[in-house]
Amino acid sequence: MSIGLVLEGGAMRGMYTAGVLDVFLDNDIKVDGIIGVSAGVLFGANYISKQKGRAIRYSKKYSKNKNYMGFHSLITTGNIINKDFAFYEVPFKLDVFDNDVFKKSNIKFYATVTNVGTGSPEYLQITDAFKDMEIFRATSAIPFVSKIVEVNNKKYLDGGISDSIPINKCMDMGYDKIIVVLTKPMWYRKKKRGNLFIKCWYRKYPNLVKTMQNRYKVYNNTIEKIIDLENKKEIFVIRPSKKIKIKRIEKDANKLQAMYDLGVSDCKNIIMQLKDYLRD
């Protein structure tokens, strides 16, 4: 039996996912493949490297560091998440990512990215976290506050633009069981955004503009599909049991901890049901 795992993004709401996955490690929940988006990729990598607590640790430690993420990084580098510090200093030197364990894992790990030329999602496999660091950057390149990232001569932005929750892709991969970790409560639905600003900002990329304009429809339809599949017991979904007010680029360590703790508690509450689902 093969098990697939889908990880939604959501910037620092991804602390919820970090909490869930740390409970997975405690309970020896194993999967064969992961397809994530944005923060789901960034924090999900620690599950493969078996580094429990790493995501919440470095996020809290550097949350108020001006070189990590925020307005200072945006105006000095053009990226709200600092390329050099967040993607190279932290994992390579300051809180070292265990790339050896990651590479030895048999888990297939895919990052969802959005091709700015076509406006369509692509799913790039990460086999070596250090060598593929630009894929991590691409999947989490938030529109408007991040530069476009080039990987293999293609231009990409945040995967959430085109496929926020890649359940369809995961199903196409043929997994027998699928776990979905969301970062928003069940009631959440996206609202339509103003089109003029999008058209002006990304006027060179009409396909991307169209994708961004329709994002709310695609997201909401995906949520309805997930709920239907969940009700049919065809997939297993873990989502926040309550709303925690947290910014996309959150600097309050207490709020980061609260989001992480919610992921831990929610997952502990359903862990037996998850094990039953995986056994059936």
pLDDT tens, residue by residue, 68-86: 999 999 999 999 999 999 9
pLDDT tier at 269, thresholds 50, 70, 90: very high
Q: What is the CA radius of gyration of the chain?
A: 18
214-223: Cβ within 8 A, 24+ apart: 215/161, 215/162, 215/164, 215/190, 216/189, 216/190, 216/191, 216/192, 218/162, 218/163, 218/164, 219/164, 219/165, 219/189, 219/190, 220/189, 220/190, 222/164, 222/165, 222/167, 222/168, 223/165, 223/188, 223/189
Tokens 């909490």 belong to residue: 19
pLDDT higher than threshold 80 for residue 194? no
Q: What is the pLDDT of residue 196?
A: 85
Give Cα separations from 68 to 84, 95, 150, 178 (angstroms). 9, 13, 21, 34
pLDDT tier at 32, thresholds 50, 70, 90: very high
Residue 182 near residue 239, CB atoms below 8 Å? yes
Q: Hey, CA dihedral for 250, 252, 257, 262, is it positive or negative?
A: negative
Q: Are strands 108-115 and 236-238 parallel, antiparallel or unpaired?
A: unpaired
Tell me the per-residue pLDDT of 215-233, one tens digit each, with 9 for 90 and over: 999 999 999 999 999 999 9
Q: Which of 35, 7, 3 is nearest to 124 (CA)?
A: 35
Helix pair 215-231, 206-213: axis angle to 10 deg: 50
The mean pLDDT of the chain is: 96
Q: What value does the mean pLDDT take over residues 238-258?
A: 95
In what helix (H) or strand (E) does residue 111 lie, and over which residues does it extend? strand 108-115
pTM score:
0.96
Structure-token pair, residue 37:
């988006």
Give all strands (DSSP E) within 152-198, no chain letters: 154-158, 177-181
Q: What is the pLDDT of residue 176?
A: 96
